[in-house]
Amino acid sequence: MDFTGIAAGVITALVPYLAKGGEKLVDKMVDEGFEQRGKIWEKTKGLFLDDNLTLLNLFEENPNDAKTQGKLESKLEDKLQANLEIAKEFESLLKQIPAEMKTNSMNIQGNANKVAQDIKDSTITIS
């Protein structure tokens, strides 16, 4: 199990959630993952109740601070290694959060043009 990846995913998922103070976010893709992000935040707080509350509070107050993110990610990774069941729960919740929506627009003119686009799980409209 990739504890480092799960811990990084948790921090990445929580930043937009906490940046708005846990309020429902406007962005559709974040909105679709709002419930999962809330569950991730509650589980994360539960892991840190006994210790590191100061670090958790700092992260909650300023989720965009890279140093705090790194410290919390490291502590979270240790806690996930000690509790495989929680790691599996986080992994499951992270998979339920929709991927970032991408929009690509191309205006191609001329002949013999070559174009590449990220199309995994995409809907493509050609007009």
How many whole angstroms separate alpha carbon 100 and alpha carbon 81? 28
Place of tokens 């976010």: 25
- Tens-digit pLDDT profile for the chain (127 aa)? 899 999 998 998 888 878 765 554 444 444 567 788 888 888 988 888 767 678 888 898 888 999 999 999 999 999 999 999 999 999 999 888 876 555 566 677 778 777 666 665 566 666 6
* Residue 104 is assigned to a structural domain of this protein: no
Number of domains in the chain: 1
Domain span including residue 42: 3-96
Whose structure tokens read 């191309």? 106
Query: 18-38, pLDDT tens digit by residue?
Result: 876 555 444 444 456 778 888
Residue 30 pLDDT: 46
Whether residue 49 is contained in a domain is answered as yes
In a domain, 105, yes or no: no
Any alpha helices (H) in 48-103, and if so which ranges? 53-61, 66-82, 84-96
Structure tokens that stand for 35 in this block: 């419930």
